[in-house]
Chain A
Amino acid sequence: MIKAGTAHWLLHDVKNRGLTAWLLSVLLTAFYLVLYFTEWFTPPARAIGLDSKWTLYGLLYTLAVTAGGLWVIRKYRHNRYQIVRTSVVIFVQATFAFSIPHLLKFLHQPEYYFSYLWPLKMDYLTPSYIFSLPLPFILYSFLGSALMVPLFAAFFGKRWYCSWICGCGGLANTFGEPWRHLSDKSSTSWKIEKITIHTVLGTSLLLTALLFISWGAGKSHPELARFTTGFQSFYGLIVSSMLAGVVGVGLYPLGGTRLWCRFFCPMAALLGLVQKFGRYRITVKENMCISCGMCSKYCEMGIDVRSYAQAGKSFTRASCVGCGLCAEVCPRGVLRLENKSHRDPQESILIQIQPAPSARPLI
C-alpha cells in the first residue's frame, strides 16, 4: 500500500505509470525530439558560453548522472559493489564522456569519446570518418572494438561496459533508478527482445560492411555509394536518434530504464553473445530462495531472476548487465555476481579443503 501523504502519493504515481509518469515521459520525449530535430537549444547553449546544443546536452546529461549517482550511492551505501560501480559511472561520464572530448577539441584534436565504441558509436568504424583522425585514435577505435570489448566481456561479462562505462547504462542506473522495476518480466518480452536486439545487431554489421565496401569501391560504383549513404542516414535516424534517445530515455517513466539496452543496442547484443560463453554468471545459493520475487521486480533488464533462484540454478543470461541489484534486494542473500576465473568459494572448496585430521566417518 502507498504511504500516506501527498509526497508519497506523488512518488508512487511517478514511479508506477501514473499521470505524473505519463507527463514526465511526454516531457522527456519532447526534449529529445526538440534536441534532435530543431535548433531551439542552440541559443540557450550560446547564451551560457557553450559552442553547441550538443555541449549543453552533454552538460545536462553529466549533471543528471552525477546527481542521480550520488543519490544511488547514498541509497545503497551499505553495498560496496554499488558504491564502487556508481562512482566509476559518474567518473567516466564526467571525464571520458564529457570533459576529455571538449579538452581534446580545445587542444585542436578530434572530439573523441573513449567511452564509446563501435557498434554503439557507428562513426568509430566508419572508414571515411575514422581514417581522417590521427593514428592513436584509429588504433584505439579498432583495437577497442576488436580486442578490448570481447576480451573484457569474456572475463567479466558485459557489465564492465553496460553498467560501469556506458553512458546509456550510466543514465539508467543513476537518474533512471526510480523506474528500474518497470521492465516487463514476461517470457513473451524475452522472446521479443531476442528478435529485436539481434535484428539491430545484424543491421549494424551490414551497414559497417557496406561502409567499408563503398569506401573502397564507391568511386567505381556510385549507386552503391548512394545507397550506403541513404542506409547510413536511415540507421542514424531510426537507431541512434529514435531508439537510443527518444524511445530509450523518453519512455523511462513508462517502460523502465533499459528499453534501448535490452531491445535495441547492438553493442549490448554483441557483448551478450560473448557473455553467454564467458566467465560471468550469477551464482544461486542452493535451497535458500523464498520466491519473494524482489530480484525479478528490480531487474532493469526484465530477467525473471526468481525463476532461476527458486530452482537453485546458477545462470548467465545474455541480457544481464551485472548491475547487482538482484543481489542487493534479496532478503536472503541468495544471489552473487561472480567471474569464474576468480576462484570463488564455490570452486575453490574442492581444491583447498583437505580431509580434516579430526574428520570421522558419518554415523
Chain B
Amino acid sequence: MHYVIIGNGVSGITAALTLRQRDARARITVISGEGDYFISRTALMYAYMDRMNLRDLEPFERKTYDKQRIDRVRAWVRDLDASRHLLRLADGRELTYDKLLLATGSVPNRFDWPGLSDVKEGAVHFVSLQHLAECERLTPSTKQAVVVGGGLIGVELVECLVHHGVEVDFLVRESWYWPMALAREEGDIIAGHIRAHGVRLHLEHEVTAVTAAPSGRVAGVRTNHGLDLPCQMLGICIGVRPATDWLKEVATPPAIGRGIRVNPSFQTPLPDVYAAGDCAEFTRPDGSPQVEQIWYAAKRQGEQAARAMLGDAVEYRPPLFYNSAKFFEIEYTTVGDVTRLPDDARSFFHRLPGPHASIRLIERNGAVIGFNMLGSRWDHTFFERWIAERRSMADVVPQLHLAQFDVEFGRAHLESARVAFAEYQRRNGLQAA
C-alpha cells in the first residue's frame, strides 16, 4: 500500500504519523512545494521577530521522518489523474499512489484594488515560508507599512513590523476590531492596546487604490475616507481560502466549492482520493458549506482522515468552535458562539480588575452557548463541558474559577464578576442565584 499525501502542514503530517502508527508496512510519501520539513505556520511571526530560528519552527526532530519511514518529496504537484492513480510533479517526475490525501491548506486572499497590478514588489502576505522570506527581505528598506485586514494574521504582521521599528497604518473595514470574533467592548480593548503600541489603527477604512513607485515598489494606498498613506510594504491579510486553484487544471479535478468537497469520511468523489484540513469543505446538515481553517481542526481532521483511509468507519462532525490567540500581550480564549447571535441570546460582559481583562458569557434558552475571555488564562475544556451540559449562566458564573488557568500567584480576581452578575440578573428581572 502506498499512501501519498500532498501538503506537509499539520493536517498532512498528522495523517502521515497516524497512518504509520496503524500500518507498519505501508509506504508513506509526503509531497510539499513549500519546504522540506513540517513547520509550525503559527510561529512564523516569532521567526520574523528573531525570537526563534527557522529550525525552531519544526515541531518534530528531523530524524523522526526517517524513524517513521515517511518519505518526503520536495516539489509542487501539477497534475492528478485519479483514473490511473497518478500524480505528475512540476519537475516532470511521476508518482503513483494507492490512496491519496489532499492536504494543501490555504492561500491568502487577494483583492484586486485599482493599481495593485502595477505593484511588482512590496505587497506581501504572511502565511508561508516564502512570505516570511519576502517580508524579511523588504523590511530593512521599509519605513512605513500599511496592513489591511483586521484578523489574527493582520495583527501578527503588525506586531512584527512594529518590532522592527516600522511605522504601521492598520486598516480595518469594520467599525471595531475583528467583529467576526469579538463584540464591540472586546474590540475596543484590543484596539486601545494596538494603538498603545504606536500603531495607527484606522477603523472603517478600506483601500480604494494602491499606487506604485516607478521602480514597481508599492508607494502608498488611498482609503475610502480619502486618506493617503505612504508605504513601502503593504500587508494584505484579508483572510485565507482553500488552496484549490491548481486542481482546476488537472486531468481529473475533484468537486470544488469553497474548498475540496468531501463527505464526512473525508472522501472526494474521485476514487481513493481524500482531502483534509484547511482545503476540505464539508456540508452542514442544512446544506451550507463548512470549511474549518484553524490549526486544531486541521490536526483533528488529519488524524481522522488517516483513519478513514485505513478503512475505519469515520463520520466527521466539526465539534464546538474554540480558539485562543494573543494580540500583542493580551491573551484571548473563546469557545462556542459569541458573535452573530440570534436575537433571543443574552450576553453578560464584565471587565475584571487589571489592565485588559474581561469575561463574556452568552446564554440562550437558559443554557450557556459561548464564552469570550480576554486578558487572563482559561481552560477551554471546562467551557466546552458546560456548554455541552447546557448549564445556565447562573450556574456557571459562580464556578468560573474552576476553569482558570493563570500562572501561580497570578490568578485573575473574579469577585467583581459575581457582584456584576447579580446586578445583571436584577437588571434583567432574573432571580438572583
Query: Within the assembled complex, what's the spacing in Å between the Cα atoms of A305 and B265?
Result: 33
B331 at the interface (CB under 8 A from A): yes
Asked if residues A291 and B405 are in contact (CB atoms below 8 Å), the reply is: no
Interface members, chain A 1-39 (any B CB < 8 Å)? 1-4, 12
Asked if residues B51 and A291 are in contact (CB atoms below 8 Å), the reply is: no
Cross-chain contact of B48 among A1, A80, A288, A328 (Cβ < 8 A): A1
Please report whether the interface of chain A is mostly helix, strand, loop or mixed according to DSSP.
loop
Cross-chain contact of A79 among B57, B380, B407 (Cβ < 8 A): B407
**A-chain residues with CB within 8 Å of residue B296 when the two chains form the complex:** 287-288, 290
**B-chain residues with CB within 8 Å of residue A4 when the two chains form the complex:** 139-140, 164-165
Asked if residues A349 and B382 are in contact (CB atoms below 8 Å), the reply is: yes
Asked if residues A360 and B61 are in contact (CB atoms below 8 Å), the reply is: no
Name the residue of chain B whose CB is nearest to the CB of A285.
Answer: B379
**B-chain residues with CB within 8 Å of residue A83 when the two chains form the complex:** 409
The 4 closest A-B pairs by CB, nearest first: A292-B43, A80-B410, A333-B377, A291-B59
**A-contact 0/1 string along B366-385, CB 8 Å cutoff:** 11000000000111111000
Asked if residues A332 and B326 are in contact (CB atoms below 8 Å), the reply is: yes
Interface members, chain B 150-182 (any A CB < 8 Å)? 163-165
Asked if residues B391 and A358 are in contact (CB atoms below 8 Å), the reply is: yes
**A-chain residues with CB within 8 Å of residue B312 when the two chains form the complex:** none
**B-chain residues with CB within 8 Å of residue A357 when the two chains form the complex:** 395
Query: Within the assembled complex, what's the spacing in Å between the Cα atoms of A296 and B60?
Result: 11
Asked if residues A291 and B40 are in contact (CB atoms below 8 Å), the reply is: yes
B117 at the interface (CB under 8 A from A): no
Asked if residues B402 and A81 are in contact (CB atoms below 8 Å), the reply is: no
Name the residue of chain A whose CB is nearest to the CB of B326.
Answer: A331
Asked if residues B165 and A293 are in contact (CB atoms below 8 Å), the reply is: no
Interface members, chain B 393-426 (any A CB < 8 Å)? 395, 399, 401-405, 407-410
Query: Within the assembled complex, what's the spacing in Å between the Cα atoms of A331 and B322?
Result: 15
Query: Within the assembled complex, what's the spacing in Å between the Cα atoms of A362 and B384?
Result: 13
Residues of A within 8 A of B (CB): 1-4, 12, 78-84, 186-187, 285-288, 290-294, 296-297, 304, 306-307, 310, 324, 327-328, 331-333, 336-337, 345-346, 348-349, 352-353, 356-360, 362
- Contacts A285-B405, A293-B56 aside, 20 further interface pairs with beta carbons under 8 A come to A3-B164, A4-B165, A290-B295, A291-B10, A291-B43, A291-B295, A292-B46, A293-B59, A297-B56, A304-B61, A307-B60, A327-B407, A331-B42, A332-B325, A332-B331, A333-B377, A336-B407, A356-B389, A358-B366, A362-B390
**A-chain residues with CB within 8 Å of residue B46 when the two chains form the complex:** 292, 294
B283 at the interface (CB under 8 A from A): no
> Could you list some 23 contacts between A and B, CB below 8 A?
A81-B410, A82-B407, A83-B409, A187-B61, A287-B296, A288-B322, A288-B324, A290-B43, A291-B295, A293-B56, A293-B57, A296-B56, A297-B56, A328-B407, A331-B331, A332-B325, A333-B331, A336-B407, A345-B403, A346-B379, A348-B402, A349-B382, A358-B395
B52 at the interface (CB under 8 A from A): yes
Asked if residues A352 and B399 are in contact (CB atoms below 8 Å), the reply is: yes
**A-chain residues with CB within 8 Å of residue B399 when the two chains form the complex:** 352-353
**A-chain residues with CB within 8 Å of residue B367 when the two chains form the complex:** 358, 360
Asked if residues A306 and B59 are in contact (CB atoms below 8 Å), the reply is: yes
Q: How far is the CB of B134 from chain A (nearest CB, A)?
A: 12
Query: Within the assembled complex, what's the spacing in Å between the Cα atoms of A345 and B402?
Result: 5
Query: Within the assembled complex, what's the spacing in Å between the Cα atoms of A80 and B410?
Result: 5
Q: Contacts A293-B59, A359-B391: A337 and B377 contacting too (C-beta < 8 A)?
A: no
Asked if residues A84 and B409 are in contact (CB atoms below 8 Å), the reply is: yes
**A-chain residues with CB within 8 Å of residue B389 when the two chains form the complex:** 356, 359, 362
Query: Within the assembled complex, what's the spacing in Å between the Cα atoms of A252 and B80?
Result: 53
Q: Contacts A290-B42, A290-B295: A358 and B390 contacting too (C-beta < 8 A)?
A: yes
Q: Number of B residues whose C-beta is below 8 Å from A?
A: 57
B94 at the interface (CB under 8 A from A): no
Asked if residues A292 and B42 are in contact (CB atoms below 8 Å), the reply is: yes
Cross-chain contact of A12 among B40, B50, B61, B324 (Cβ < 8 A): B50
**B-chain residues with CB within 8 Å of residue A79 when the two chains form the complex:** 407, 410
Asked if residues A293 and B40 are in contact (CB atoms below 8 Å), the reply is: yes
Query: Within the assembled complex, what's the spacing in Å between the Cα atoms of A362 and B367?
Result: 12
Name the residue of chain B whose CB is nearest to the CB of A294.
Answer: B46
Query: Within the assembled complex, what's the spacing in Å between the Cα atoms of A357 and B367?
Result: 12
**A-chain residues with CB within 8 Å of residue B140 when the two chains form the complex:** 4
Name the residue of chain A whose CB is nearest to the CB of B139.
Answer: A1
B136 at the interface (CB under 8 A from A): yes
Asked if residues A186 and B61 are in contact (CB atoms below 8 Å), the reply is: yes
Q: How far is the CB of A12 from chain B (nearest CB, A)?
A: 6
**A-chain residues with CB within 8 Å of residue B401 when the two chains form the complex:** 345
Name the residue of chain B whose CB is nearest to the CB of A352.
Answer: B402
B29 at the interface (CB under 8 A from A): no
**A-chain residues with CB within 8 Å of residue B51 when the two chains form the complex:** 294, 297
Cross-chain contact of B50 among A2, A336, A345 (Cβ < 8 A): A2
Asked if residues B380 and A285 are in contact (CB atoms below 8 Å), the reply is: yes
Query: Among A287, A292, A359, which residue has the most Cβ atoms of chain B within 10 A?
Result: A292
Asked if residues A3 and B50 are in contact (CB atoms below 8 Å), the reply is: yes
Q: Contacts A331-B326, A333-B377: A360 and B48 contacting too (C-beta < 8 A)?
A: no
B392 at the interface (CB under 8 A from A): yes
Query: Within the assembled complex, what's the spacing in Å between the Cα atoms of A45 and B160?
Result: 48
Interface members, chain B 19-71 (any A CB < 8 Å)? 40, 42-43, 46-48, 50-52, 56-61
Name the residue of chain B whose CB is nearest to the CB of A298.
Answer: B51
Query: Within the assembled complex, what's the spacing in Å between the Cα atoms of A318 and B299?
Result: 29
**B-chain residues with CB within 8 Å of residue A296 when the two chains form the complex:** 56
**B-chain residues with CB within 8 Å of residue A306 when the two chains form the complex:** 59
B301 at the interface (CB under 8 A from A): no
B333 at the interface (CB under 8 A from A): yes
Interface members, chain B 289-328 (any A CB < 8 Å)? 295-296, 299-300, 322, 324-326
Query: Within the assembled complex, what's the spacing in Å between the Cα atoms of A360 and B325?
Result: 32
**A-chain residues with CB within 8 Å of residue B95 when the two chains form the complex:** none
Asked if residues B390 and A292 are in contact (CB atoms below 8 Å), the reply is: no
Asked if residues B52 and A81 are in contact (CB atoms below 8 Å), the reply is: no
Query: Within the assembled complex, what's the spacing in Å between the Cα atoms of A359 and B52?
Result: 47
Query: Among A307, A328, A356, which residue has the most Cβ atoms of chain B within 10 A?
Result: A356
Q: How far is the CB of A104 from chain B (nearest CB, A)?
A: 32
Q: How far is the CB of B430 from chain A (nearest CB, A)?
A: 13
B329 at the interface (CB under 8 A from A): yes
Name the residue of chain A whose CB is nearest to the CB of B402.
Answer: A345
Cross-chain contact of A81 among B61, B324, B409 (Cβ < 8 A): B409
**A-chain residues with CB within 8 Å of residue B404 when the two chains form the complex:** 345
**B-chain residues with CB within 8 Å of residue A78 when the two chains form the complex:** 329
Cross-chain contact of B136 among A1, A293, A294, A331 (Cβ < 8 A): A1
Query: Within the assembled complex, what's the spacing in Å between the Cα atoms of A151 and B22?
Result: 43
